[in-house]
Amino acid sequence: MGEIVKQILVKPIQYADEVVKLSDTAISFRQECLEIKSKTEKLAALLRQAARNSGDLYERPTRRIIDDTEQVLDKALALVFKCCANGLWRFFTIIPAAAFRKISQQIENSIGDVSWLLRVSAPADDRDDEYLGLPPIASNEPILCIIWEQIATLCSGSLDDRADAAASLVSLARDNDRYGKLIIEEGGVPPLLKLAKEGRMEGQENAARAIGLLSRDPESVEQIVNAGVGQVFAKMLKEGHMKVQIVVAWAVSEMAAQHRKCQDNFDQNNTIRLLVSHLAFETIPEHSKYAIATTKHNSIHSLVMANSSDKANLKKDEENPAGIKHPIGSSGSQMQNVVTNTMAMKGGGGGSQHHHHPHPHHHVALSGSSIKGREYEDPATKAEMKAMSARALRYLCAGNVAICRSITESRALLCFAVLLEKGPDEVKYNSVMALMEISSVCEQDESLRRSAFKPTSPAAKAVVDQFLSIIQKPESAPAELLIPSIKSIGNLARTFRASETRFIGPLVQLLDDKEPEVTSEAAQALNKFAGPDNFLHVNHCKSIIGAGGTKHLVPLIYFGEQMVQFPSFVLLCYLAMHVPDNEDLANEDVLIVLEWATKQNALMQDKEVETLAYEGKKRLELYQSRASKGYH
């Protein structure tokens, strides 16, 4: 940077020296030229001081101020040169008096700009807490000067000053999207990341929050990722204080929500495994996928400490034979049994090895202060850490098969199931949203669907059971949990066996819900059971009719809102296509409903739906004679 600034300063310093030299030889307007000379000498001295301190100068305002100064000195040189003309040329040269006033004022502005640049770029100890004011260059855009000042402090201030500057940028970025773009354009991201690596807790928190607020659009996220945010955030998630890690996880979620292309960058920097590690902490007994197995090369000290730990644990067990309660639930609960079974199945070296080596000293936890000290954090902080970890995982796995596979192959599914049952409200919400994103990807990817939600997987069963428990009690479940659960069940419709009809009944009952959004989502989920893409669609259609689906669908098609009417009509068409000989369809006059619906323009706008409706009508007419229904 220093060499670049020196090169930028060469030309304006040359111009300033030429102005000073020519001013002494001026023939006309000599007094005005001497005044310009005096101001130019002062400006030249400041430019030379800037060249000596080039390594400390903040690049963005330096370029802009020096460019403007160069233009001013070029105009001043041209004006003074005219005053040096002699002979006949002197009589043909017209110089308005106002030109000197204008150039003089511009040189004064340049002096103010360069003086401000030197002050703002000086180390914090040399400023004496003086108010820097606004440079003339920023008179039309004062906010730009404030941003420059804060970024300059981030570059050269003390740790406390840098933390305050980051907090100021947080305030600016929160207030206005344009200010956020200016902060990025003016080079604010690299010093923020540097503060995140080097600062104290408050500074790291402010820096991470600023990065999250700056991530307002894909272009901004792309620039932040290119600045190296992945490595910095991964280190903070591994070693930072938990309160800092909360903000980091939130910032990751903001970036991933705005720009999905950053997902792979975070994945490459092990952000996924670190977030899952935070999610699993005190949620399940062990998270062996993210522990480093060690069976040899243990130091004598570690062996002695492990042996002491084992004896202490044994003594505690003898004193408390009932065992210690699980942090988020009773040790005797059904979910706890699922956790235990899953851990046994996925244990490091198989069930027998897990049985013979139960002690934790065979695994080395992730290093860092966050791992060592996080058990002493208060419950609210731990809950917020889980909530933000789940939120980050939600956006990181959205539409990304590789990350979803990584998450489902870890203990994350089991963590989500436990948290969905026992966690605080925010943790439940972010967990169910993450599961909805995973199930959405599974719906599109058969390989992932088969591996992540295979029927024999206890973790997958635990997740599905939580979805079922939510939709079975819609009156007690908040909408922010109910709707994602319905969507997730629909996404996983192709994973259920023919005998597993326990989801059909609750979904059918939700067709009678008072909230149109819930009814619409329930109809869409049932469509995924009854649609031709589902191999077991005939079985599921029979189950839907058996659960009373037809009697709910008919009034919804006639009187429901459009968001409910359309998926309900599609579902009824599927039922008519796949089980046209069912007596319930005849008893509910489904053929009449389809005939009425085909005359409604709102329902017939989609060509595929139109084809579906006529196919359903044709099959119903084939199996249900008009004579038996009295249609004469």
Beta-ladder partners of 348: 350
Same domain, 239 and 285: no
Same domain, 255 and 265: no
User: Which pLDDT value is given to residue 467?
Assistant: 95
Q: Give, in degrees to the nearest 5, the angle at Cα 314 between 309 and 315.
A: 100
Angle between helices 218-226 and 177-185 (to 10 degrees): 30
Q: For residue 89, give its domain range.
A: 2-136
Q: Is residue 316 part of a domain?
A: no
Q: Please provide the DSSP assignment of 379-392 as one string.
A: HHHHHHHHHHHHHH
Q: Please provide the DSSP assignment of 572-584 as one string.
A: HHHHHHH-TT-HH
User: Which pLDDT value is given to residue 128?
Assistant: 56
Residues 6 or more apart from 350 whose CB is under 8 A from it? none
Q: Is residue 460 part of a domain?
A: yes
Structure tokens at 91: 């009589």
Please list, residue by residue across 79-91, b when 16 or more beta carbons sit within 10 angstroms of its beta carbon and e when fewer do: bbebbbbeeeeee
Q: Mark which of 206, 239, 259 sits at the end of a domain.
A: 259
Angle between helices 590-597 and 549-559 (to 10 degrees): 30
Same domain, 270 and 241: no
Mean pLDDT by 10 residues, the chain (632 residues): 80 92 82 90 93 82 91 91 65 69 92 90 64 78 89 89 95 93 94 95 96 95 96 95 96 96 95 94 65 37 41 42 37 50 47 35 36 77 95 96 94 93 93 96 94 90 95 88 96 90 94 92 96 94 94 93 93 93 87 90 88 90 61 44
Output the pTM of the full model: 0.81
Same domain, 127 and 147: no
Q: Is residue 9 part of a domain?
A: yes
E-strand spans in 502-542? Answer: none
Q: Is residue 96 part of a domain?
A: yes
User: Which pLDDT value is given to residue 301?
Assistant: 40
Same domain, 148 and 269: no
Q: Contact, 540 vs 549, CB < 8 A?
A: no
E-strand spans in 267-362? Answer: 292-293
Calpha distance 115→149 (Å, rounded) = 13
Same domain, 174 and 196: yes
Calpha distance 607→433 (Å, rounded) = 33
SS3 127: coil
- Domain total in the chain: 4
Calpha distance 355→609 (Å, rounded) = 57
Same domain, 398 and 252: no
In degrees and rounded to multiples of 5, residue 500 shows phi and psi of -95, 85
Q: Is residue 60 part of a domain?
A: yes
Calpha distance 206→199 (Å, rounded) = 10
Q: Domain holding 385: CATH number?
A: 1.25.10
Calpha distance 318→340 (Å, rounded) = 21
Q: Is residue 561 part of a domain?
A: yes
Q: Is residue 344 part of a domain?
A: yes
Q: Contact, 110 vs 67, CB < 8 A?
A: no
Same domain, 214 and 335: no
Kindly state the helix (H) or strand (E) to which residue 363 belongs, with its residue range.
Answer: strand 363-364
Calpha distance 362→129 (Å, rounded) = 55
Q: Contact, 384 vs 242, CB < 8 A?
A: no
Going from the C-alpha of 352 to that of each of 306, 342, 345, 358, the distances in angstroms are 21, 14, 10, 10
Q: Is residue 319 part of a domain?
A: no
Same domain, 49 and 109: yes
